[in-house]
Amino acid sequence: MPDAPVPNTITGRDAFLRVLKDEGVTKMFGNPGTTELPIMHALSSAPEMGYVLALQEAVVIAMADGYARASGKLVSCNVHVAPGLGNAIGSIYTSMMSGTPMIVTAGQQEQGHGLTEPLLYAPLVPIAQPVVKWATEVSRIEDLPRILRRAAKVALTAPTGPVFISLPGDILNNEAAIDMGDVTRVDTAVRPSDAALEQLARRLLSAKKPVILAGHEIATSDAFAEAAELAETLGAPVLQQTVAWGAHFPSEHPAYLGALNRDQKYVRRVLSDYDLMLCVGADVLKMSVWSETEPLPETTKVAMIGLRDWEMGKNFPAEIALRADVKETLKALIPLLRKLGGGRLAEQAKASLAEISARNWSTQRAQKAAKVATPTTSPLPAEWVMMRLSDKLPKDAIVVEEGLTSTATLPSYFAFRDRNSFFGNVSGGIGWGIAAAVGVQIAEPKRRVVAVIGDGSAMYSISALWSAANQKLPVIFLITNNEGYQILKNRLKLFHGNDTPIGMDFNDPPMNIAKIAEGFGLPSERVDTAEGFDAALDRALARTDGPTLIEAMVKKG
Ligand SMILES: Cc1ncc(C[n+]2csc(CCOP(=O)(O)OP(=O)(O)O)c2C)c(N)n1
Ligand SMILES: [Mg+2]
């Protein structure tokens, strides 16, 4: 490395930050080690990058994931060589599933030094490869901008997702006159051909009883209004896809029936009412545990619109599959349906909507709520906590959910009102929620973020509470404590008839999560009565300059 900078040259570390900034990155999440010190050094003169420190790498990625999903922006994460990348992999897997646009980088040993197998060394690209869209290592400083530009383009082009770059120390510290390149964005807001649209419209009109499966691309393409208009035009009921990644459809819309679950027999029963399922930006019946029953009845045919052609015909053949942007397609499809369907369609749709209203989400909510009494004993029934929380939150609140059994009823009470009103666990890999809520609140500073997290799930990323306090974010963490892995206990009983679980209880010694949170600097309280919950929630809502934690003791079940 030269002693003094040569004119018109730039160090790898400065070029790294400059190109990221030019690509629209305004937040970097990280956990540093020695190999990241060049970047940390450069960050000292780039405070606008807003570096957010997380205390473990799985937490770094999940926090960035929440930020990118809520802001829609490209995010950058920096982790520490092989052990740090290893810690991060479970979270990167989740980001891959949610298609989060993310550039993950790790510092790597200087080229050549790795050959001597120093502490912390392992080749990084093969570790990252299975869970990212593209992984590479920079081997010449001149290539750094080209690689970063390509990484940003790949991450942001649908199907969007994480990419990985290994940054050897010599690349970051070297200095050279290099071409910084420029931004490329691929426009994927495309609509199908006129012929394909007409084919879909005619197929929908010829269906006896179509149903709409609402998926995540309704949120990512900002098509809440268009999806609602489609349901009104067709008079078709709407079901949310089996994995509630996020808010996919306005819950209070008259056509909304609620979400499908991941019970194959139940889904098959529900869908057997319909002869055509139009999947709008949805995963097609993604399930969790094996069943001998196929969730799609043979009599229900499939049509799909979305940008992820991998999902089309993946498990179930699609009669019509249109690789296109949901919003743009619906904007063209709706007037076509009206034109082809005419007055008859309008009349049918009106009658059908009236019929659906008698059993839609809002009707079901009112019926369920009428049966939930205010508890007078402890611990609290989780359903009451979910209902009460939903009733007391401001209308524009955002819920981040990872509560397993205790949040099973939450989607029946909390209304999705816009595409950012709800963020859920996409992959099933728990430990995402507490961290993601921090990122969501950074992206949405004016809205109240409430994270509803199971006691077991909370423990995987508990240190994210410190980051929330450090960033002075007004997140309310509601931890539902049922003293164990209830879902696993339930399944042990169901699948094996075993009622004596081993390794699924946390009652010896019992955990006090409020006290743990206090140690991270959060005002925290444990509640086990209805009045206690109400009062704690009121206090938490009143706090605006930092996070609060409520530990609600809930019934096992
Ligand atoms: C990374 C990861 N590790 C382990 C699991 C297995 N697992 C699924 S649910 C669960 C228990 C969750 O407990 P908690 O959050 O307390 O919810 P509860 O089941 O009590 O409602 C575990 C350990 C997982 N899904 N992901
Ligand atoms: Mg639990």
Q: Report in angstroms the alpha-carbon separations of 80 from 92, 223, 416.
A: 14, 38, 38
CATH number, domain of 246, equals 3.40.50.1220
Query: Please, which residues bridge with residue 400 across strands?
Result: 423, 451
- Clarify whether residues 282 and 381 are in a common domain: no
Distance 481 CA to ligand 1 centre (A): 13
CB of 58 within 8 A of CB of 87?
yes
> Looking at 340, 360, 380, which one is the last position of a domain?
360
For ligand 1, atom 26, which residue shows the shortest CA distance?
429
* Per-residue pLDDT, 59: 98
Distance 470 CA to ligand 1 centre (A): 27
DSSP code for 99: T
pLDDT digits (tens, 9 = 90+) for 419-478: 999 999 999 999 999 999 999 999 999 999 999 999 999 999 999 999 999 999 999 999
End-to-end CA distance of the chain: 63
Work out the number of other CB atoms within 10 angstroms of the CB of residue 47: 8
> Looking at 293, 328, 360, which one is the last position of a domain?
360
- Clarify whether residues 388 and 291 are in a common domain: no
Residue 475: what are its φ and ψ, rounded to 5°? -65, 140
181 in a domain, yes or no?
no
183 in a domain, yes or no?
no
Nearest ligand to the CA of 486 is 1
Nearest ligand to the CA of 490 is 1
Nearest ligand to the CA of 382 is 1
Strands (E), 58-130: 75-80, 102-108
Portion of the chain with pLDDT greater than 70, in percent: 99
pLDDT digits (tens, 9 = 90+) for 236-283: 999 999 998 899 999 999 999 999 999 999 999 999 999 999 999 999
- Clarify whether residues 223 and 260 are in a common domain: yes
Mutate which of 404, 481, 505 for ligand 1 pocket (most atoms within 8 A of beta carbon): 404
Pair type for strands 10-11 and 175-176: antiparallel
Question: Phi/psi zone of residue 521: left (φ > 0), alpha (ψ -120 to 50 degrees), beta?
Answer: left
Distance 484 CA to ligand 1 centre (A): 9
Q: Pick the closest to residue 85 from 50, 28, 40, 135 (CA basis).
A: 135
407 in a domain, yes or no?
yes
Nearest ligand to the CA of 434 is 1
Distance 293 CA to ligand 2 centre (A): 29
Residue burial 132-159, b: 16+ Cβ < 10 Å; e: rest: bbbbbbbeebbebbbbbbbbbbbbbbbe
134 in a domain, yes or no?
yes
The CA angle 416-417-423, to the nearest 5 degrees, is 45
- Cis ω for the linkage preceding 381 (within 30 of 0): no
Atom of ligand 1 nearest to the CA of 489: 19
CB of 451 within 8 A of CB of 433?
yes
The first and second tokens of residue 241, run together, are 């896809």
* Per-residue pLDDT, 396: 97
Distance 380 CA to ligand 2 centre (A): 13
> Looking at 113, 145, 176, which one is the last position of a domain?
176
4 in a domain, yes or no?
no
Distance 238 CA to ligand 1 centre (A): 29
189 in a domain, yes or no?
no
* Per-residue pLDDT, 476: 98
Mutate which of 485, 504, 506, 513 for ligand 1 pocket (most atoms within 8 A of beta carbon): 485
* Ligand 1 pocket at CB < 6 A: 90, 404-406, 428-431, 454-457, 482, 484-488
Q: Domain count of the chain?
A: 3
Distance 488 CA to ligand 1 centre (A): 7
Residue 111: what are its φ and ψ, rounded to 5°? -60, 135
Atom of ligand 1 nearest to the CA of 402: 15
- Clarify whether residues 443 and 465 are in a common domain: yes
CATH number, domain of 531, equals 3.40.50.970
For ligand 1, atom 23, which residue shows the shortest CA distance?
485
- Clarify whether residues 475 and 536 are in a common domain: yes
Distance 167 CA to ligand 1 centre (A): 34
- Clarify whether residues 168 and 147 are in a common domain: yes
Distance 126 CA to ligand 2 centre (A): 35
> Helix and strand tally (H, E) in the chain?
21, 20
Treating both helix axes as pointing N-terminal to C-terminal, what angle do 224-234 and 326-357 enclose, rounded to 10 degrees? 50
Distance 495 CA to ligand 1 centre (A): 17
Per-residue pLDDT of the chain (557 residues; tens, 9 = 90+): 556 655 689 999 999 999 999 999 999 999 999 999 999 999 999 999 999 999 999 999 999 999 999 999 999 999 999 999 999 999 999 999 999 999 999 999 999 999 999 999 999 999 999 999 999 999 999 999 999 999 999 999 999 999 999 999 999 999 999 999 999 999 999 999 999 999 999 999 999 999 999 999 999 999 999 999 999 999 999 999 999 889 999 999 999 999 999 999 999 999 999 999 999 999 999 999 999 999 999 999 999 999 999 999 999 999 999 999 999 999 999 999 999 999 999 999 999 999 999 999 999 999 999 999 999 999 999 999 999 999 999 999 999 999 999 999 999 999 999 999 999 999 999 999 999 999 999 999 999 999 999 999 999 999 999 999 999 999 999 999 999 999 999 999 999 999 999 999 999 999 999 999 999 999 999 999 999 999 999 999 999 999 999 999 999 98
* Per-residue pLDDT, 4: 63
For ligand 1, atom 21, which residue shows the shortest CA distance?
405
Mutate which of 89, 402, 430 for ligand 1 pocket (most atoms within 8 A of beta carbon): 430
Q: What is the dihedral of CA 92, 94, 100, 104, to 10 degrees?
A: 0
Nearest ligand to the CA of 481 is 2
Q: Which helix (H) or strand (E) holds 423?
A: strand 422-424
Mutate which of 243, 487, 506, 554 for ligand 1 pocket (most atoms within 8 A of beta carbon): 487
- Clarify whether residues 410 and 544 are in a common domain: yes
- Clarify whether residues 140 and 252 are in a common domain: no
Atom of ligand 1 nearest to the CA of 454: 15
Return d(Cα 548, Cα 310) in angstroms, integer.
41
- Clarify whether residues 334 and 478 are in a common domain: no
For ligand 1, atom 10, which residue shows the shortest CA distance?
485
185 in a domain, yes or no?
no
- Clarify whether residues 163 and 215 are in a common domain: no
Atom of ligand 1 nearest to the CA of 428: 25
Distance 163 CA to ligand 1 centre (A): 27
Range of the domain at 208: 194-360
**Strand, coil or helix: what is 84?**
helix
Q: Provide the residue count of the chain.
A: 557
Nearest ligand to the CA of 90 is 1
427 in a domain, yes or no?
yes
Distance 504 CA to ligand 1 centre (A): 9
For ligand 1, atom 16, which residue shows the shortest CA distance?
456
Distance 492 CA to ligand 1 centre (A): 13
Atom of ligand 1 nearest to the CA of 455: 16
Return d(Cα 29, Cα 60) in angstroms, integer.
6
Atom of ligand 1 nearest to the CA of 482: 20
- Clarify whether residues 42 and 163 are in a common domain: yes
* Per-residue pLDDT, 8: 85
- Clarify whether residues 202 and 144 are in a common domain: no
Query: Please, which residues bridge with residue 246 across strands?
Result: 423
SS (H, E, C) 536-552: HHHHHHHCCCCCEEEEE
